[in-house]
Structures are given as C-alpha cells and as structure tokens.
Amino acid sequence: MRKVAIIGSGIAGLATSIRLALKDYDVSVFEANTYLGGKLSSIEKEGFTFDTGPSLFTAPENIEALFSLAKKDITNYFTYRDLDESCRYFFANGKKIIAKKNVEAFANEAEKVFGEPADNIKKYLQNSNKAYQNIGELFLDFPLDSSLITKSETYKALFSVKFPYITKSLNSYNESSFKTPEMIQLFNRFATYNGSNPYKAPAMLSMISSLEQSQGTFYPNGGMISIIKALVQLAKEIGVKFHTNSKVEKIETFKNTVTGVLVNGKKYEADIVVSNMDIYYTYKNLLSDNKFAHKVLKQERSSSAFIFYWGIDTTFSELGLHNIFFSEDYKKEFQHIFEESILPDEPTVYVNVTSKFDKNQAPNNSENWFVMVNAPAHNDHNWEEQKEKIKRFIIKQLNKQLNTNLEDHIVVEETLSPLNIQEKTASFMGSLYGTSSNSKMAAFFRQQNRSKHYKNLHFCGGSVHPGGGIPLCFKCAKLVADDIH
C-alpha cells in the first residue's frame, strides 16, 4: 500500500485524504495546530459560538460526492438547508434589498427599489450561468496543463467566450450591463470572492454570481464547522490517520523525488506528498527552493480580512444570515487595499449571524456576529493600532443603518487580523486566496496541482489551481486525487 503524507488539514487536504483513502492509499495528515480545519475553525466564549473562517456555503454537491464515493449516508454526518435568500444588501444612500434566490423575484424587487430594469438582471444572470457551465466548469474541473488543448470541451468553451469577458474589467462590464450604481456595486462585489479588485479583475469573474444567485446558497446545520466535523469523522472511519500539533519542517527529497516529511524532528517516509500549505511557504520553508518561492511572489497577493467576533445581547430583525453594508466610495476602498496597501477609511462591512438558524450558538435574545472588512495583505502593518479605528467606523456605519447604539450591546469580542491569519494558517501575508485575479492571465499563472520539478509532489488548497473558496477546494481535491491515482 503506497503511503501518502498530506501537509495541512484545510478543506482541500481533508477532501484529498478521503479520496485517496478510498483508493486504498495509506494516508496520514499532519497539522501544525492542535485542531483540524485550517481557516475553518470555531470559537466558543461565554455562551457564544463563532465560525472563524469561510461563512458562505454553496454547491453542496461537492461534499455530497465524497459520501457517495464512500457509500455512506451523508445525513448521518452532515445536514444543511436551502435558503430562499442569498444576502441582504444595505447601501450608503439608505436603500436596501433582500436578494431572493428566485431570480424573477430578485429582479422585480431591484426594479422597484432602485429603478434597475428587471430584464437587465435576468439577462446578466443568464449569461453568467451560461459562462459558468461552458467555461467555468472546464477550467475548474480539469488540470491546468496542456491536456486541456485536446479536450472537446475546450473548443466549446472557446466559442462561448464573450469578447468583453477578456477585454473589460468586471466593473466596466457591470457598468455596461446595468444602469443603476447600486446594481453595479452589488455585482462588483463578486470579485472579492477570490480576493480581487473589481476595477482590475477581468469580466470573466461575472460568472461567480451564478453560484450564489442562480444556484443558491445553503446553511450547514451546526454552522460551517460542521463541514469539518463531517469530513474528519468520515476520514477517520475509512482509515485516514491524523497527527495534530505536528508541524512539518521539511519535505524530504532525493534526486528531486520526494521521500517523506520531517515532522518535529522525526522523518515520516512517504511515496507521495501533498501540500495543503500555502504554495509560497511550501517552496520557501519546506523545500528551501528560493527560486520558485520568488516566482510565486511575482504575482499580486489577494486581499486579506480583519474580523471581529461580537456577542450581541439583543436581536435585529433587519438582519439575515448574510448581510452586506456597502461603502459609499467602492473604488476608493479597493485603491486603499491594493494600491496603497492600507486598511480602507470606510470599508464595506459584512455581517454573518448564524444564530438566526442555530439558536444554541448564542444565549437567549442574543446574536453571534461575525463582522468582516476587506483588508490588504499583511506587510508591516500595526493591526492593533488599526483595530480601534476600524471598530469605530463599523459601529458608526451599523448604528446609522440599523438605528441602534451597537456599542452598548457588544458583550463579547474576539478579533482576527491579517497577521493572525498568517500565524494561524501559514497563509503568506495573511492573503486569503494566495494570489489575486487582478490581471487577465492571473488564473493561468496559479501553481498547478502537480509539481513539474519534484516527482510525486502535489499541491492542493486555495493558493493553487483552481483557486480559493470552499467549492474550489473540493474541486481541487478531486483533481489531485485523480492525478495521483
């Protein structure tokens, strides 16, 4: 039985371990932290429970596929519910809208509230859905190598590429698609799903809206951490071995072939190594390969985030599970993040409240708020200094929109800065998605899943192909496991 060592236990690492164990590999997962899950973990404090990382769950078929392969009934491990709304949007001018899953209802409401013709929204989402099916699925479901050229799907995709997808930025494309600033800003937001700037990222990213608005959003019962719990339980049942508090110090090689990993001073032999660690740190720290580490740095870092976890001693009927409070000057916000590398003066605020569905995640008549703003990747920033400044702005914004005195209701607080993200998850500079997609060719420069220079070394996770976010990490795991087998 061939031995596989997986470095890191994020979504991609866990899903890869399951797929390989089901193919009769001897799989061991090494995690530096005392807990499993990477960026997706949880905090419990004074009766409040918070998911710490990704908060949006889409494309449940990705996790269902793993349990189907294992011939297990997923409902014994994991359940979720279909939501009839994707997000509640609050704009700086006081207007607001609930984006319903039903496209017709959403489009009609946008026409009523903002004056955006309903047909514009329906046409846009039809195009984004078509682009995802014809282009996105090809790019996401196959390795990023020369084999793409020989696939019939590639030619179908090429013929379906609209010229503006390549020539325009997402913002320019949205400006030509909508007449109201609110709809332009709302659909610009989808560039942030892979840590990019909508004023530079290609219009091709418009297809991301298809996942949320056309295919729907879902809520995992028990919160996002239930995804990790389900995967770990399944992995253990099929023989995956987990080693926590086990920091991999080096990937061992002999004549450019991997032979195992060095963990806490002890060597574990392995026929195959899969790194679920940030690709820069994999090259820099585990392989001592400065040449390829430097090559990764030529690509612009994705954005990071500053997060507050607030226990709120009251409830707000205006809020749903997902809530966005847009900044007044969206363009300036991204200039600050990507061009000036500073925390925006007036950032867009995202509020996630899982106690809307899981009442036991907050005390009675209370709510657990995950409050996030986009931030630049860490680069000698003093986040402790920035914390109070950004907290004051967030409270001011939310007080205005919700007509409250939020500062009187915060009874629990924890924070997570880009530096914390780097320290806890070894994500270089705290970048949530590795590299950004702020250029037309950025997606093609991402690290491929199989190393060209080290035999039997593979890569998975948000910093490599096909990209960051839970759905793509599941897809990445399939690419890696299929390639190895």
Q: Look at strands 3-7 and 26-30 and give their pairing.
A: parallel
Would you list the domain boundaries of the chain?
3-42+57-68+223-299+437-484, 111-213, 303-425
Residues 216-245 pLDDT 10s: 899 999 999 999 999 999 999 999 999 999
Task: Give the tokens for residue 432.
Answer: 């949530």
| Global pTM value | 0.93
Torsion angles phi and psi, residue 412, rounded to 5? -140, 140
Tokens of 154: 């590639």
* Cβ contact 114:180 at 8 Å: yes
What is the rounded distance in angstroms from the CA atom of residue 483 to the CA atom of residue 476?
Answer: 11
Dist. CA 229–CA 78, nearest whole Å = 8
Q: Can you give the length of the chain in residues?
A: 485
Tell me the CATH number of domain 3-42+57-68+223-299+437-484, given options 3.40.50.720, 3.10.20.600, 3.40.190.10, 3.50.50.60.
3.50.50.60
pLDDT in tens, the chain (485 residues): 999 999 999 999 999 999 999 999 999 999 999 999 999 999 999 999 999 999 999 999 999 999 999 999 999 999 999 999 999 999 999 999 999 999 999 999 999 999 999 999 999 999 888 877 776 666 666 676 555 445 555 445 544 555 566 779 999 999 999 999 999 999 999 999 989 999 999 988 888 888 787 788 999 999 999 999 999 999 999 999 999 999 999 999 999 999 999 999 999 999 999 999 999 999 999 999 999 898 888 888 999 999 999 999 999 999 999 999 999 999 999 999 999 999 999 999 999 999 999 999 999 999 999 999 999 999 989 999 999 999 999 999 999 999 999 999 999 999 999 999 999 999 999 999 888 888 766 666 678 899 999 999 999 999 998 888 899 999 999 999 999 99
CA 485 to chain centre: 27
The C-alpha atoms of residue 26 and residue 3 are separated, in whole angstroms, by: 5
Residue type for position 188: N
What is the distance between the alpha carbons of residues 158 and 181, in angstroms, rounded to a whole number?
31
